[in-house]
Structure 1
Amino acid sequence: MVTGQGLPALAQYGDDATNRWLSAAAHLDAAYARDTDHELTKDRLTALGPSLGVDLVAVARHVRLAVRRSDHRDALLSVLLAAWAGAAVSLVYGLVRNMATLTDLALYALVAALGGAWILVLLFEHRARTLALRVVEADDPPDTLAPPLDKDLEAGLRAQERTNVVPYEEEAEFRHPFVGSGDAFQERVWQPIDIGTPAASPTGGTLSVIPFDVVDLHTYVAREMGKIAGLQGLRARNRLYVLGTRVRHAGEELLPDRLNPPRALLPKQMVQAGLVRSGGGMRTYLCLERVGEGGRVIVSMHLRARLQHPSLTWEVGVYLIPPLHPRFEEVRTLRLDAFGHWWTLGTFSTRTFLPALFGAPSRLARHAYAWAAHRWRMGHLRRDIGRRHVEFDYGASTSVRQRAADWEQWRYSDRTDAQDFAQRLQQGVLTATEHFLKAHNVDTSSFDQAQQVINHHSYNFAGPIKGPSIFGAHGTVNVPAGGPGPGQPPAAPAPAQP
């Protein structure tokens, strides 16, 4: 065991690094801030996808603060633009009427309006950069560096971070239901295991198999995985995945009001019911999630035990979320010295104050129109749902964290970390399954044979995909997840045929 006693400590990524990048980016990227504010805080009917490793309350507070500051700046710029327009009219009138005094005053007013706009843009950008730097450098948690939001809204976001149910949009059913978990790396059904043969007794004869069900198996694996896999910070929980168009058929526990979004937390018994017997478009999976250093890489494994006596199989899917897009780390490029800070602010203001000034009214009008259009759309949808009993798709399509990811940032250390996580998760599930079967007096000879086949499929995050057959070695079924897009890591290669 490596203890590291007596060795100097190296700099580490902060556990909340991703939260800080996403929160800081809100002050520097107006489009991201407005889109995320709309997703997290505005009226909605669809569910939010789980953002693994992200403090949604912290992000929501900072994007709301950034949006309000942007709107405040545009409101002040619109006033200055009105003053500038009035001065321009007065100047023309003074020139036409040959009124020297009025002409001089109008010129001063024009210059003052333009100068005021330049100063206004500079000061608001200074405030934005100061807050962004403070978010990434302060010891205080990011959520304490922005004003709180409505209590009910924040309570809903907190519940979303602990969610045990995920409604997913119907379109996601063609790929995989695990919205928010990233892109599929491997989807398989493991070799069947015979669980009907009792184990031999140490004193001779055979033992009696202790009955169990999938709830017992899932509970045991979830409880033991952290110790077995050796992955500190591993999160394991059962989660019910519900097709968005089937949400209202799940009952009032999930959708108490058809005119509002579904709940993020369900009673434990309802989640377990999806293990024993899946419903139409409703299945429960054991979700094992491991967030890498600073949240750069997230590996999740979704498991579902299929128990049909006397055979047990595991449905297994491994999904990856790569590091953040560079746009979310723009704060790293900001100058920290006083001269550089104000010099870059001055050049920024000089370059942008005219477009900011003359575009302020149209931006305010566009945002007001978007708000009104959203309110109209929500009202229209609620009327349709309430009066016509339309089957509405309440499902989520993605998440804040997944949407911010960029496969072009997939580096060597990220690949090796992800490979290590995936292999540890797989071996942990196998070890926990073996321990569980032995504890229930099941003969594990069939399991030992299946384990050899399963371990034959290694997790390799490099090399091209060539469209392998879905049938792997020894009867294992590989469910293809679709080819990777540009810059994405390829799927695992098919095992060599014996």
Structure 2
Amino acid sequence: MPIGPLPALPKYRTDLVSRRMCRTAQLDPGFAREVLAEYAEDGIRAAGLPVGVNVVAVVRHARQAEARVLRRDRVLAGLLTLLLALLALAGWSLTHGHGGPAAAAAAALPAVLLAALAVVYRELWTSWRIARELGEGPGAAAVQAPPVEPELERQLEQLKRANLVVYHEDVAGVNPFVGSGWRIYEQVWAPINTARPAKDPAGNPLTPVPFNAADIHHQVARWIIKDSGLDGISVRNRLYARGTFLGNLPWALPDPTGRPLTVVDSQWVKSGAANPTTGLETYLCLRMIGDGGRVVVSMHLRAQLTRTSLTWNVNAYVLPPLGPRFDLPDRQVAGPVRLRMRALADAAHATPGLLFGSVGALLGRAADAAGKARRLERTRREIRKNYGTIDYGTTNSLRERASFWPYMEFAERRDSSTYFKLMVQAVLDATEHFLTAHHIDTADLTAQQQQQIFNTQTTIFNGAIQNAVIGGVGNVQNNYVAPPGGGSSAGGPNPPAAPSP
């Protein structure tokens, strides 16, 4: 008997991670600064890929939050100046025997302090209100903050379809797949004999159709997208370039004193597959994103061809959920009246420090900006004078630094393992389809060999997540602070900001 329609169960928002980042940017000035430093400010280093994140929305909210804090500090600095002037007037009046001005100045002091309290409360309540609306409102996160500059938004949109990733020399020997997270699998699959032709139904050998690595990358990607049946999988060929090489690649770096491009002509990407060099290689990148974007599994494959064999180099990575730093918005869960009372209490506690530290905060912000501008100009001067080799690469990404392996839950470990195996199967099926179309015998792609690939150095998502993470060859490690398997993530709740000269 057929089962009728079943009730729908609640699910995570599809943009959960982006919303949590936007909410944290509204509440945490340090995180807002980190976002803008990586994606919205002048620089020469490549920005990390915002995997599974609506980076336009996050930058909009970070810009809005930082502008609001700047306005608060400027008003507080003016009130502090007025407060000090009133104190000076009261002191001068008392020493010169003028009681009236001294009394008026003293009477005005509480009004200044109350005004400071109102300024702090308004900024704090605004940030809490926006964070709450982001968590509960139906609208998209991007429309709940004003747009930034059109050119900046265009560049951010291009990151979503990036086909060039530039990695830093510091991670070249560990993890060139910057931003992908923790490595869970690294393997060279058994070679496939491409010199053995397939046979027609009559048993006569067919003439093999010539192909190169770029052809198989392209055709496998197309087959996976159209015929694999995997919902939600994204597939793209990307050229991974070492940052020190960019100075010799005008097609990737039209302005040597600016950031590298994120989207380049596809011919260069194909060349990186067919004719790779050390530091310039094209990988077929597969990605599946779990519910709400909490977990992302990615696979990077490179086809290696000789005259008689085809081999896949395979690397798989996992981005865990966001870390404790992004739990901050959950502390603002309360009814409107209670939330206002909490905001008032927090504002009363924070006002003295913010008021008397406002001038220092403004000066410190200006000094940091000036120092960065000087360093950036010095670097650009060295580039123009050709003083040395510049590394344009990045070491990680905002999403990777935000990840925290101990937050991987049982279902997420299970789903990550499932996604990984589905991607392996899709690549094997697509490879068999490609070889069959090119009249190559596929005896090396039997079910027995596929099972062997699954069983050899596969990922092991088990054990207590508080005490274990997965190593690069399927070994469980007990120190989750260190990047397991060569990943570049710090793995902690408060990782350092990405360098961005």
Counterpart residue number, 1:453? 452
Which stretch of the first structure deviates more once superposed, 404-413 or 483-492? 483-492
Do the aligned partners of residues 465 and 28 (structure 1) sit closer, same or farther apart at CA in structure 2, a change above 3 Å counting? closer
Do the aligned partners of residues 146 and 378 (structure 1) sit closer, same or farther apart at CA in structure 2, a change above 3 Å counting? same
Q: 1:351 aligns with which of 349, 352, 365?
A: 349
In structure 1, stretches of 5+ residues that fail to align are 469-477, 493-498
Structure 2 letter corresponding to 1:108: A
SS in 1 for 2:186: strand
Would you say the 8 A contact 2:460–2:474 is kept in 1? no
Describe how 1:140-179 pairs up with structure 2 within 5 A: 140-179=139-178
Counterpart residue number, 2:40? 41
Counterpart residue number, 2:112? 113
Counterpart residue number, 2:206? 207
1:414 offset after TM fit, Å? 1.3
Do the aligned partners of residues 5 and 357 (structure 1) sit closer, same or farther apart at CA in structure 2, a change above 3 Å counting? farther
Do the aligned partners of residues 258 and 483 (structure 1) sit closer, same or farther apart at CA in structure 2, a change above 3 Å counting? farther
1:15 offset after TM fit, Å? 1.3
Counterparts of 2:395 and 2:270 in 1: how far apart (Å)? 24
1:97 aligns with 2:96: yes
Q: Deviations over 1:337-392 (max 9, x none)?
A: 23211110111011111111111111110100011111111110010000134210
1:207 offset after TM fit, Å? 2.1
Counterpart residue number, 1:124? 123
Do the aligned partners of residues 111 and 4 (structure 1) sit closer, same or farther apart at CA in structure 2, a change above 3 Å counting? farther
Counterpart residue number, 1:274? 272
1:72 aligns with 2:71: yes
Counterparts of 2:62 and 2:362 in 1: how far apart (Å)? 17
Counterparts of 2:475 and 2:36 in 1: how far apart (Å)? 31
1:488 offset after TM fit, Å? 7.3
Counterpart residue number, 1:217? 216
Counterparts of 2:475 and 2:398 in 1: how far apart (Å)? 22
1:317 aligns with 2:311: no
Describe how 1:407-486 pairs up with structure 2 within 5 A: 407-448=405-446, 450-457=449-456, 458-462=458-462, 485-486=479-480
Would you say the 8 A contact 1:231–1:421 is kept in 2? no
1:490 offset after TM fit, Å? 6.2
Structure 2 letter corresponding to 1:76: V
Counterparts of 1:88 and 1:411 in 2: how far apart (Å)? 57
Counterparts of 2:43 and 2:395 in 1: how far apart (Å)? 13
Counterpart residue number, 1:81? 80
Do the aligned partners of residues 80 and 121 (structure 1) sit closer, same or farther apart at CA in structure 2, a change above 3 Å counting? same
Counterpart residue number, 1:191? 190
Q: How many residue pairs end up in the alignment? A: 480
Do the aligned partners of residues 484 and 152 (structure 1) sit closer, same or farther apart at CA in structure 2, a change above 3 Å counting? farther
Counterparts of 1:270 and 1:446 in 2: how far apart (Å)? 31
SS in 2 for 1:27: helix
Would you say the 8 A contact 1:199–1:441 is kept in 2? yes
Q: Deviations over 1:30-74 (max 9, x none)?
A: 110112112211100011111111111111111011101000000
SS in 2 for 1:7: coil
Structure 2 letter corresponding to 1:236: V
Do the aligned partners of residues 233 and 365 (structure 1) sit closer, same or farther apart at CA in structure 2, a change above 3 Å counting? same
Counterpart residue number, 1:370? 368
Would you say the 8 A contact 2:405–2:469 is kept in 1? no
Counterpart residue number, 1:495? none
Counterpart residue number, 2:234? 235
Counterparts of 1:99 and 1:231 in 2: how far apart (Å)? 84
Counterpart residue number, 1:295? 293
Do the aligned partners of residues 63 and 450 (structure 1) sit closer, same or farther apart at CA in structure 2, a change above 3 Å counting? same
Counterparts of 1:64 and 1:201 in 2: how far apart (Å)? 63
Counterparts of 2:132 and 2:469 in 1: how far apart (Å)? 45
Do the aligned partners of residues 242 and 483 (structure 1) sit closer, same or farther apart at CA in structure 2, a change above 3 Å counting? farther
1:99 offset after TM fit, Å? 3.2
Counterparts of 2:199 and 2:180 in 1: how far apart (Å)? 42
Which stretch of the first structure deviates more once superposed, 238-247 or 345-354? 345-354
1:336 offset after TM fit, Å? 3.8
Do the aligned partners of residues 61 and 8 (structure 1) sit closer, same or farther apart at CA in structure 2, a change above 3 Å counting? same
Do the aligned partners of residues 423 and 5 (structure 1) sit closer, same or farther apart at CA in structure 2, a change above 3 Å counting? farther
Counterpart residue number, 1:405? 403
The alignment yields a C-alpha RMSD, in angstroms, of 2.4
Would you say the 8 A contact 1:180–1:399 is kept in 2? yes
Would you say the 8 A contact 1:187–1:480 is kept in 2? no
TM-score (norm 2): 0.91
SS in 2 for 1:258: coil
Do the aligned partners of residues 484 and 232 (structure 1) sit closer, same or farther apart at CA in structure 2, a change above 3 Å counting? farther
1:23 offset after TM fit, Å? 1.0
Structure 1 letter corresponding to 2:408: W
Which stretch of the first structure deviates more once superposed, 424-433 or 296-305? 424-433
Would you say the 8 A contact 1:195–1:442 is kept in 2? yes
Would you say the 8 A contact 1:325–1:404 is kept in 2? yes
Counterparts of 2:317 and 2:221 in 1: how far apart (Å)? 18
Which stretch of the first structure deviates more once superposed, 406-415 or 234-243? 406-415
Counterparts of 1:158 and 1:77 in 2: how far apart (Å)? 36
In structure 2, stretches of 5+ residues that fail to align are 487-501
Q: Deviations over 1:436-492 (max 9, x none)?
A: 222222222223264343122232123599999xxxxxxxxx879996742679669
Would you say the 8 A contact 1:290–1:300 is kept in 2? yes
Counterparts of 2:304 and 2:219 in 1: how far apart (Å)? 15
Counterpart residue number, 1:472? none
Do the aligned partners of residues 80 and 481 (structure 1) sit closer, same or farther apart at CA in structure 2, a change above 3 Å counting? farther
Q: Deviations over 1:2-37 (max 9, x none)?
A: x98511111111111111111111110011011211
Which stretch of the first structure deviates more once superposed, 113-122 or 325-334? 325-334
Structure 2 letter corresponding to 1:201: D
Counterpart residue number, 1:283? 281
Counterpart residue number, 1:474? none
Counterpart residue number, 1:15? 14
Would you say the 8 A contact 1:408–1:488 is kept in 2? no
SS in 1 for 2:26: coil
Counterpart residue number, 2:491? none
Would you say the 8 A contact 2:469–2:477 is kept in 1? no
Do the aligned partners of residues 76 and 4 (structure 1) sit closer, same or farther apart at CA in structure 2, a change above 3 Å counting? farther
1:231 offset after TM fit, Å? 2.8
1:307 aligns with 2:301: no
Counterpart residue number, 2:495? none
Report percent identity of matched pairs.
35
Structure 2 letter corresponding to 1:330: L
